[in-house]
Amino acid sequence: MERSTGDFARGYDRAGRGDSSYFAWTNHGKESIVLDLKTDEDAQLLHRLIDRADVFVQNLAPGAFARLGFDTTELRAHNPRLITCDISGYGESEAVADKKAYDLLVQAESGLIGISGGANELGRIGISIVDIGAGITAYTAVLEALVTRAVSNTGSALKVSLFDVAAEWMTVPFAQHVHGDGGPARVGLRHPTIAPYGAYETADGRLTLLAVQNEREWELLCINVLGRPDIASDPRYGSNNDRVANRGLLELDLSNEILNARRDHLSGPTR
């Protein structure tokens, strides 16, 4: 459902055949209707649509839809099998109901940008990850509610907030901060708690990415790819924790070896 001037997200770019790529991606295959809910005719039309619907999703500011005559509790009372999903920025409490919820703001307030980027610069995750994550969370919740309704014959009231979604993703950094040695450092393409992990320059001036997840892969990298069993057996790199603690030395050893090899020579044995 769009306003008479169209969804403002249509205008972010023109890559979607005149509409924005964002709008085309999230709305392809859907039908659209233009309604002015401040008019009785359009409001009644939406009520009739909802009466026949399985699921109703809305993301207006908290309370805005109810003020237009569409309180979700009343909608479900009229259609007991209806599943409603209210998406907000920070929840519906009075203290946060009026806060603007843009992707970048929620990335910041949840702590996502605090662990993204390099040592000297914060980094925004390159896509609207919070918007997308909230949509996927809502989608998953709706699917679960449909399964529940198949058993109970009763709908559900779902509520999803962008902040809650992003905060859930921050569980591991939070646990590390509270119960470990502090939250993860910003290390660019590196991994704060796994090594080696990241991009290395090769002899032909290109980059190769390494992500070593366990000791078997570490030995394969050193012996089969680099031909350096001595690095594999070096006690300074005996475990992942050792490699992280000695990351500076590790990076130097690996960089020197990888810089002498072409990327195509490295890519085959490491897959």
E-assigned strand segments in the chain: 55-58, 83-88, 117-118, 121-122, 157-161, 197-201, 207-211
CA dist list (Å): 97 to 86, 94, 101: 13, 5, 10
**Is the predicted pLDDT of residue 55 greater than 90, yes or no?**
yes
247 in the same domain as 155:
no
State the catalytic residue, choosing from 86, 103, 131, 253.
Answer: 131
C-beta atoms surrounding 115 within 10 Å:
19
Mean pLDDT of 77-95: 93
Mean pLDDT of 82-108: 92
**Is the predicted pLDDT of residue 72 greater than 80, yes or no?**
yes
Q: How far apart are the first and last CA of the chain?
A: 47
Mean pLDDT of 184-209: 92
CA dist list (Å): 168 to 77, 135, 172, 215, 263: 31, 14, 9, 30, 38
Q: Is 63 left (phi over 0), alpha (psi -120 to 50) or beta?
A: left
Asked about 131 being catalytic, the answer comes back as yes
d(CA 85, CA 58): 7
209 in the same domain as 133:
no
Task: Compute the C-alpha angle 39/42/44, nearest 5°.
Answer: 105
136 in the same domain as 86:
yes
Burial of 103 (0-12, 13-18, 19+ CB in 10 A): buried
Mean pLDDT of 80-101: 91
Mean pLDDT of 188-215: 93
Q: Is the Cβ–Cβ distance between 109 and 163 less than 8 Å?
A: yes
Q: Say whether 265 sits in a helix, a strand or coil.
A: helix
Mean pLDDT of 88-92: 93
256 in the same domain as 140:
no
pLDDT for the residue 180: 87
What's the CATH code of the domain at 206? 3.30.1540.10
d(CA 174, CA 87): 24
What confidence tier does 95 reach under pLDDT thresholds 50, 70, 90? confident
Domain count, the chain: 2
Put simply, whether the predicted model's pTM sits higher than 0.75 gets the answer yes
**12: in domain:** no
State the residue range of the domain holding 78: 35-169
**Is the predicted pLDDT of residue 269 greater than 80, yes or no?**
no
| 26 token code pair | 């999230």
Q: Is the Cβ–Cβ distance between 129 and 103 less than 8 Å?
A: yes
Q: Among residues 169, 184, 210, which one ends one of the domains?
A: 169
Mean pLDDT of 57-79: 93
DSSP label at residue 2: B
**Is the predicted pLDDT of residue 271 greater than 60, yes or no?**
no
121 in the same domain as 39:
yes
**Is the predicted pLDDT of residue 270 greater than 70, yes or no?**
no
212 in the same domain as 150:
no
pLDDT digits (tens, 9 = 90+) for 130-150: 999 999 999 999 999 999 999
**184: in domain:** no
**Is the predicted pLDDT of residue 118 greater than 60, yes or no?**
yes
Amino acid residing at 72: T
Mean pLDDT of 26-46: 94
**11: in domain:** no
Residues ≥6 apart with Cβ < 8 Å to 145: 55, 83, 155, 156, 158
Q: Is the Cβ–Cβ distance between 110 and 184 less than 8 Å?
A: no
**Is the predicted pLDDT of residue 39 greater than 90, yes or no?**
yes
**191: in domain:** no
